[in-house]
Amino acid sequence: MRIGLIGTPHNPLVLGGPAPELAALFPGVELIAFPSRVPAFPYTPLEQAMQALGHAEAALTAAEQGCERLVIDSVGDYGLAAMRAMLPIPVVGSGEAGLAKAARGGRPFGIVSVWPESMNFILTERLQACGVTGSCVGIVNVGEDADTELLSGPDGYLSQVREGRAAVVGKVLAGVTDLAARGAEAVLLGCTCMSGMADTIASAASVPIVNPLAAGVRAALAAPPLTQVPQTRDGRPALLRAMVDAVAGEVAEDCPVCIAS
């Protein structure tokens, strides 16, 4: 099966291709990265709206190139509703799938994110949209604004996250312990860029750890073909592509975590 991973321009899983842990988890599945061409990182709801269009346009390309399922490679699930209203194939958001798994059976859960607290509005929106706010005991942010001052290079924060270095892993595990003490019976990793450290965290944690990207791929594989194919108005895909073309050449903004090194 061919699954398209739809992501933000700076997402390391998009830039470097699907992460090796995904290949190990899903042998025989072809995972293909399709980055958004909108160069605005969703710092606020305004940029979120822009990025929803960018993700929808990337998803359109993925469907045109023969992908049978799509997974949004972001816990923010940018453009999910637009994709489902436009495409004839199943679309899954990593945030949606991860939250569903974390809250399965109504169990209390928490979220640990490598993003600073200033980015929690994205997680809050997903919690509300998925109807699981009441089950979330809290969000722990192991990243601080100071961590984002040096992002690129071998000692940058991105490398620390992607490589699962001891300092970052230690903070994440401390966050898991904190949430477990508050009553969390599972912990969701709050960014798909944490996928590479998911197994390490899970092996040392006292509660189940949910990797949202892996949860998204599993949900996509389990999704049946659509019984009703959405119909778009004539010319809408071309208009969407023209809108994205208009900004695609602008300088890409730095993600506070996932800037390319």
pLDDT above 70 coverage of the chain, percent: 84
Based on the fold, state whether residues 107 and 168 are members of the same structural domain.
yes
Based on the fold, state whether residues 170 and 191 are members of the same structural domain.
yes
Q: Establish if 254 belongs to a structural domain.
A: no
**Could you give the CA distance from residue 113 to residue 212 in angstroms, rounded to a whole number?**
12
Which of these three, 171, 187, 213, is where a domain ends? 213
- How would residue 172 be classed by pLDDT, with cut points 50, 70 and 90? very high
Q: Give just the sign of the alpha carbon dihedral 92, 69, 14, 167.
A: positive
Residue 152 clears pLDDT 50, i.e. is over it:
no
pLDDT for the residue numbered 158? 52
- The tens digit of pLDDT for each residue in 40-66 reads 878 788 999 999 999 999 999 999 999
Based on the fold, state whether residues 158 and 228 are members of the same structural domain.
no
Based on the fold, state whether residues 39 and 121 are members of the same structural domain.
no
Q: Establish if 241 belongs to a structural domain.
A: yes
- Give the residue among 71, 18, 34, 104 at the shortest CA–CA distance from 217: 71
Q: Establish if 259 belongs to a structural domain.
A: no
With 0-12 CB in 10 A as exposed, 13-18 as middle and 19+ as buried, what is 251?
Answer: exposed
Task: Name the domain count of the chain.
Answer: 2
Q: Establish if 235 belongs to a structural domain.
A: yes
Q: Which residues span the domain enclosing 136?
A: 96-213
